[in-house]
Amino acid sequence: LVFTEEDKYGLYSNLLFKYFLAEGIVCGHDLFVASAKEHPDNILKELPAPLLDDTYGKEWGDEAAAKSEDFQDSMKIAWRYQNLPKMETSPTTYTKLGHYYDVSKKMSPELCQSVKWHSFYLHEELSFEPEMKVWNMNSGYARLLQSIQRIISQEGFDGSDPQKKQRNVLRIGIQSLGSVWWGDDVCCSDTPEDPHSLTKFLYVLRGLLRKSLSACIITVPAHLMQNKAIMERVTNLSDMVVGLESFIGSERETNPLYKDYHGLVHVHQIPRLNSLICDVSDTKDLAFRLKRKLFTIERLHLPPDLSDTVSRASKQDLAGSAKLLSSGCGAMAIGKKHLDF
């Protein structure tokens, strides 16, 4: 269960959500797309097209070569940084890590139809039957759980039930859970009327995931949640928690130090399934950027200060401070002589 905190405008979290679904189609997995804001059919039409391995390798190699040339030029200017170790933001050579996608193109309908997928649109589900509370939780959450449970049992994803046909993986994507679109008020008030529906839903959902061949990603507008206690419960009920912080509308958008990035990635929790401890990454500072075709996550490192004006200004400040310090010491010495007289 991957819990993704949406960025302020939901731009990059929605892209990450589509990446998860697109990877499922390329791998031949079954999909289950649930949303109360956008129809699942429209979401599938907007999935990015897979990028061919040779094309991606060429683009990655060209970019790495350009970075290397820029880095060498900067080292010639900043001679004082030559002996420092190089910080690699991304692999210097092309490595195969799953599949890559071109965000400038849409996935072909033939490829989308090559896998079996199921949809859950809350407004259509509520129009079929009147609202009713089941399991003492929100009606929309209850219907979503019933739909997921039905797909798992009927389509052969139940791990405890022996299946005769070839096993597959079910990828579940739930968009903007906890928002007002789902009839929940946890994002509207510090003291919501029904603060336990979301946590109950996640508790039951995680139980379904544990006994089935399925993986789930959920996007939540966490920046709208004012109750910290609810966020802590949601975090504890998730396996992996990742937050996206966009620079749009913030001071960092115009900050030259972050000119190469579009936002930050905060890894709040790493899964530790069937183990007492989890694998901790060697770096926690991650940033993302959206290029013309690719969406990449890299290590965040600020460039060295190569400004000559800043260096000169700092030297002038140091000289001025030293002058004041020396004049102050001289004044104290002169004053002491007058006192001695």
Q: Domains in the chain and their CATH numbers?
A: 2-54+98-242 (3.40.50.300)
Q: What is the largest CA-CA distance in the chain?
A: 108
Asked if 183 and 138 count as a contact pair (C-beta separation under 8 A), the reply is yes
Asked if 269 and 233 count as a contact pair (C-beta separation under 8 A), the reply is no
Helices (H), 129-227: 139-154, 197-210
Helix axes 228-236, 197-210, angle to 10 degrees: 10
**CB contact burial 97-120 (16+ within 10 A = b; e otherwise):** eebbbbbeeebeeeebeebebbbb
- Which letter does DSSP use for residue 125 in this model? H
How far apart, in whole angstroms, are the C-alpha atoms of residue 225 and residue 159?
35
DSSP bridge partners of 137: 134
Q: Which residue has the tokens 């102050």?
A: 328
Asked if 183 and 119 count as a contact pair (C-beta separation under 8 A), the reply is no
Helices (H), 84-138: 109-112, 122-128
Q: Which SS3 state, helix, strand or coil, does residue 3 take?
A: strand
Q: Annotate 212-258 with DSSP letters as a single string.
A: BTEEEEEEE-GGG---HHHHHHHHHT-SEEEEEEE-TTSGGGS-GGG
pLDDT tens, per residue, the chain with 341 residues: 999 999 999 999 999 999 999 999 999 999 999 999 999 999 999 999 998 765 555 554 555 555 545 545 444 545 555 555 554 555 444 456 678 999 999 999 999 999 999 999 999 988 776 666 666 788 899 999 999 999 999 998 988 777 677 789 999 999 999 999 998 888 888 888 888 899 999 999 999 999 999 999 999 999 998 888 999 999 999 999 999 999 998 888 888 888 889 999 999 988 887 777 777 666 678 999 998 888 999 888 766 655 544 444 444 544 554 444 444 444 444 344 343 43
Q: Which SS3 state, helix, strand or coil, does residue 170 take?
A: strand
pLDDT recorded at residue 305: 56
Q: Rounded to two decimals, what is the model's pTM?
A: 0.77
CA-based end-to-end distance of the chain: 83
* Closest CA relative to residue 186, chosen from 135, 224, 240: 224
Helix axes 139-154, 197-210, angle to 10 degrees: 10
| Sign for the pseudo-dihedral over CA of 73, 78, 79, 80 | negative
> Which residue type sits at 13?
S
